[in-house]
Amino acid sequence: MRLTCPYCGSRDHQEFTYRGDATAVRPALNNTSIDDHNAYIFDRSNPDGVHQELWNHTSGCRTHLVVERNTVTHEVLSCKPVGPFARKLK
């Protein structure tokens, strides 16, 4: 399996660290609902098909990426930088 890092190009997935489901979003700091925090930490939709997931290019540019990948075929559909510090692509 290879991921195409927007900065480094097509690289073996071994260069990346898997960080799991990208749709699990931390509740706001002032959200005191146990259910919301529990869902964020523990509950996953675990789809068979397209999965949005976080990968970090640890052995490359160290950017966090949101990868769209099919969990049945391992086909990678897209890799996008994520977060406020994602550098602008040339």
Q: How far is the CB of 7 from Zn ion (least distance, A)?
A: 4
Q: How far is the CB of 88 from other proteins (least distance, A)?
A: 28
How many angstroms separate the CA atoms of 26 and 48, rounded? 23
Rank residues 70 and 86 by Cβ distance to other proteins and give the closer one: 70
H/E stretch holding 69 reads strand 64-70
Q: Residues 6 or more apart from 49 whose CB is under 8 A from it?
A: 70, 71, 72
Positions that interact with other proteins (CB under 8 A) = 1, 12-14, 18, 20-21, 34-35, 38-39, 41-48, 51, 53, 69, 71-74
Stretch binding Zn ion (CB under 5 A), from 2-10, 27-35, 47-55, 69-77: 2-10
Task: Please tell me whether residue 39 adopts helix, strand or coil conformation.
Answer: helix
